[in-house]
Amino acid sequence: DVKVTQSSRYLVKRTGEKVFLECVQDMDHENMFWYRQDPGLGLRLIYFSYDVKMKEKGDIPEGYSVPREKKERFSLILESASTNQTSMYLCASSLRVADTQYFGPGTRLTVL
């Protein structure tokens, strides 16, 4: 079974803080994704990575950076957190880009 883990289930941060979210998958998948999910807006793609050190912007990349130094690990960094970044953050991985995505448990981030 594919396993995708995320570093935290819940985080509370203050405006202006730097926030690190980490995602690890154990299935040697090439593709990894970061989404945020907000009520009424569904899943919105922030960034995806199709290989180590390769990434593409999604629909809402502003305010986020996504280092991928190793194949199994995809991080999401909020350089200076703002209250409008309060959300559920979901990481996913897939073997091919248009293939089944396997999701981690999510991180609920609150920015005060």
Residues that bind other proteins (CB under 8 A): 35, 40-43, 45, 48, 90, 96-106
In the complex, minimum distance from the CB of residue 49 to other proteins, in angstroms, rounded to a whole number: 13
Query: Which one, 67 or 103, has the nearer CB to other proteins?
Result: 103
CB of 58 to other proteins, least distance (A): 8
CA atoms within 13 A on the CB side of 96: 2
Nearer to other proteins, 48 or 64 (CB): 48
Query: Min. distance of Cβ 26 from other proteins in angstroms?
Result: 16
Helix or strand (DSSP H, E) at 36: strand 31-38
44: Cβ–Cβ under 8 A, 6 or more apart, which residues? 35, 36, 37, 38, 58, 59, 60
